[in-house]
Structure 1
């Protein structure tokens, strides 16, 4: 705050007057500046001050601009992240960069930018680029604010290793003409139904039940009296005419 008031005194007093109808209390200015510096580390703040003092810009930066000066290249801003994300979608096969220690690292897009890009790919695939950009900027700014508050550093998104195969296994080794003819004849035999060994289906035999089913009812012609008695026990009414024919009492 002191640096801004000292270097850009006239502009600062014009934007935040101490008196008059448009007076802006210095306490509110300090609170707004503090809110814009949330998540900025002391080292980043010192860098921002250094850039502010050495800047040749005649116009006073806003609090958001000063925050960007503090963060510097530690984090991409939303606009740069969107440009890098669009470039990343055009990369067919990302190539890693060799570091001084010999290690390989991908540096095409950051982790936060890739995460925000994945969530707006549905709009990009549908051709809604303006909507995709607006949503990307909104998400990225929210993610970067949360990451800075937690003290995290910007990280490069690392591509997942692709599946590899043995170069010798993918080479085609042709067979001789004699061996090819042999395989062809064997294949023809399999197609020929007459020469194919077809398993005979299982034959099913009927099983005769040795025990005959005996009727519990007496035959009315062979044993009329037994038939009438059984009917009487079961409560079945027999026609009087049939009873007389069977010799029973009507």
Structure 2
């Protein structure tokens, strides 16, 4: 993470603004009266807006401030943009590049001076912000997608600058390719294929390995039918009547006569 700008640099900036835009500076930050703003607060506000700006970037911004022909005093946020310059895309440019990126049918890498190739179609933060709003784009909500993209991108860039990171290009993932070393596939006959299959079976055959035995299913023995306590009155009427007499069961005389056991 970058250290905050030295207090001396903040004083140099405020001095440059007061000298070049005296009237506007005194109107925005009056030194006297009931609306007077202490210079300590002005320096504190400048330090907050310039968080993450390096010394080299600050010197560039200060040089641009001195050579600017703009008659209106830049805000501290505007001065920050002057310091950063082309080190980072601004939100509007990032959105335009993101829209162009969605139309690319075939990604082409750029050859660098050292002979290597690099994709320079979109930055990592712009690509990440684009991925966050793709659902709006797919639904046709372009205005909402743009507003959300700009909000996210500005937040991500601010965080990246505070952490001292630099803008990086997004690199397309490499596509999977089949490498056969230039050899053409030559089919083999059935006999040789069977030979290779048998060799493979031998390699897969592991001796002395524990093979779980399959579970055996056994039939449950049928239960013997329970013998009736009372004899069948139709098959053996005399035994039935005798059993009733032994147990003291009264049998109607009509039934006895039908069974042949009564007068």
Q: Is TM > 0.5 for Structure 1 vs Structure 2? A: yes
Match of 2:211 in 1: none
Query: Within the alignment, does 1:106 sit opposite 2:119 as a pair?
Result: yes
Query: What RMSD over aligned residues (CA atoms) do the two structures have, in Å?
Result: 3.5
- Distance of 1:237 and 1:62 partners within structure 2: 121
Which of 118, 123, 142 is 2:131 aligned to? 118
Which of 203, 227, 248 is 1:216 aligned to? 227
Which of 62, 82, 92 is 1:69 aligned to? 82
- Distance of 2:92 and 2:178 partners within structure 1: 40
Which of 130, 137, 155 is 1:142 aligned to? 155
- Distance of 1:51 and 1:233 partners within structure 2: 130
Q: 1:213 to 1:29 in 2, by over 3 A?
A: same
Note the C-alpha offset of 1:212.
Answer: 10
Within a 5 Å distance, the mapping from 1:181-220 to structure 2 comes to: 214=225, 216-217=227-228, 218-220=231-233
Superposed CA deviations along residues 56-98 of structure 1, whole A, max 9, x for unmatched, are 4333211111111111222111111111111111111111111
Query: Within the alignment, does 1:12 sit opposite 2:25 as a pair?
Result: yes
Number of residue pairs aligned between Structure 1 and Structure 2: 208
Within a 5 Å distance, the mapping from 1:16-31 to structure 2 comes to: 16-31=29-44
Scaled by the length of structure 1, what TM-score is found?
0.69
Unaligned runs of 5+ in 2: 1-13, 185-221
Unaligned runs of 5+ in 1: 172-210
Which of 142, 163, 167 is 1:154 aligned to? 167
Note the C-alpha offset of 1:113.
Answer: 0.7
- Distance of 1:215 and 1:83 partners within structure 2: 93
Q: Secondary structure at the match of 1:216?
A: coil
Match of 2:101 in 1: 88
Q: Which moved more, 1:145-154 or 1:214-223?
A: 214-223
Match of 1:203 in 2: none
Note the C-alpha offset of 1:112.
Answer: 0.8
Q: 1:223 to 1:95 in 2, by over 3 A?
A: same
Q: Which moved more, 1:115-124 or 1:10-19?
A: 10-19
- Distance of 1:27 and 1:232 partners within structure 2: 125
Superposed CA deviations along residues 198-244 of structure 1, whole A, max 9, x for unmatched, are xxxxxxxxxxxxx996561243223335546878999x997674356
- Distance of 2:87 and 2:244 partners within structure 1: 106
Greater relative contact order: 1 or 2 (C-alpha under 8 angstroms, separation 6 or more)? 2
Scaled by the length of structure 2, what TM-score is found?
0.66
